Amino acid sequence: MLSLKGAWSAEMPLVQDQLHRIEEDAARDLAATADEAALEGWRVAYLGRRGRLTQVLRGLSALVEEERRNLGAAANQLKQRLEDAHEAHHSALGDAALRTTMREGRLDVTLPGVRGPIGRLHPITQTLRDILGAFASMGFQVTEGPEIEWDRYNFEMLRIPADHPARDLWDTLWMDYERDGVRPMLLRTHTSPNQIRVMESQEPPVRVVVPGKCYRYEATDATHEWMFHQVEGLAVDENISIGDLKGTLYEFTKRMFGSERRVRFRTDYFPFVEPGVEMAMDCFNCRGGGCRTCGNQGWIEILGAGMVHPEVLTGVGYDAERYTGFAFGMGVERIAMLRYGIEDIRHFFANDLRFLRQF
Ligand code: PHE
């Protein structure tokens, strides 16, 4: 195609004609575009890299400069108009879609939301918190100690030397670690080693409760687990008597099981207390008449206690002439079973949600 600079060319009306037809077709096609997919097809057909307008723009390079300038300007203006039309149609489609959604009610803001699952505290945790809360309100502090313990703390300093028959009271899980031919570490069988730990770390007056997991090498049944929780209590000061022990534990019992509860103390044996006692309360279910809860006894044993043995006090460097104290230990699972009426201790750590969701 021969065209001279500045001269009139036969191409010119042809291109103008093309632009004109493109604009007409584009307007008609766009009006028929009803969704985003069709709109994108339209854009590709007219403005895409192989679209009709783009092809015209590319063909312009073959023209002489003056024609190129004039037609180029016209083509670019058309391109701008088509882009504007595309943009306007795009937002119109969005508005229409929103109106449809609202009309058809697909988004009902009055529907209730989806409720997320809400967790809860394990019944043992709840019971533990109530026990500690009762003692905290009587001035006891709460501390903790390790679950892996030395024989020295778990037994020896509690007046239970190696080979002492009293060790049979606590079937022990020993750590697989030997020193000088003996195993000095174990999983604590009770929370009583914390009596020693607390007294070693502070001078009287002492008033502490110590919660924690305990372990025993035992077959499990409805009332025994190889892992369970205890709360230890210890009070040491001048002039502490067994009356303080009884008063404190009586008050605790009323707070946990009702103000009408009565308590009973009987002698019992633990090497680290003298005298040692077991405390029972009258059955909150039958009030002493005898029923299933109390095994027809009328009384329910809930803890062991006693006056701290003077040798235990001297063992930690306390002056046993000046100070006396009482200690107690209770099983948390046992107390939880009583207050919730649970028949089998194995429910607690079986992780059956049907059980746990009841608390
Ligand atoms: N530690 C004892 C046990 O596990 C309970 C106890 C604690 C008894 C403190 C007396 C004083 O059986």
The span from the CA of 32 to the CA of 38, in Å, is 9
The CATH number given to whatever domain includes residue 169 is 3.30.930.10
Predicted confidence (pLDDT) per residue in 193-208, tens digit: 999 999 999 999 999 9
Residues 129 and 275 in one domain: yes
Catalytic residue among 52, 56, 75, 170: 170
Residues 149 and 286 in one domain: yes
Residues 220 and 175 in one domain: yes
Task: Tell which one of 168, 190, 229 to mutate to probe ligand 1, the residue whose CB is within 8 A of the most ligand atoms.
Answer: 190
Q: Greater confidence, 72 or 280?
A: 280
For the chain, how many structural domains are there in total?
2
Residues 93 and 130 in one domain: no
Please tell me the residue having the least CA distance from ligand 1 atom 3.
190
Residues 263 and 226 in one domain: yes
Please tell me the residue having the least CA distance from ligand 1 atom 5.
329
Task: Write down which residue in 42, 71, 104 finishes a domain.
Answer: 104
Name the residue range of residue 98's domain.
Answer: 13-104
Residues 92 and 129 in one domain: no
Q: Give Cβ neighbours of residue 62 (< 8 Å, ≥ 6 apart).
A: 1, 11
Predicted confidence (pLDDT) per residue in 77-102, tens digit: 888 989 998 999 999 888 888 888 77
Residues 137 and 284 in one domain: yes
CA of 329, closest atom in ligand 1: 7
Residues 171 and 215 in one domain: yes
The verdict on whether 134 is a catalytic residue reads no
Please check whether residue 7 lies inside any domain of the structure.
no
- In the chain, % of residues over pLDDT 70: 97
Residues 99 and 150 in one domain: no
The ligand 1 site (C-beta within 6 Å) comprises: 190, 192, 270, 273, 276, 304-306, 327-329
The span from the CA of 39 to the CA of 90, in Å, is 7
Residues 333 and 200 in one domain: yes
CA of 214, closest atom in ligand 1: 4
Q: What is the pLDDT of residue 155?
A: 97
The span from the CA of 325 to the CA of 338, in Å, is 29
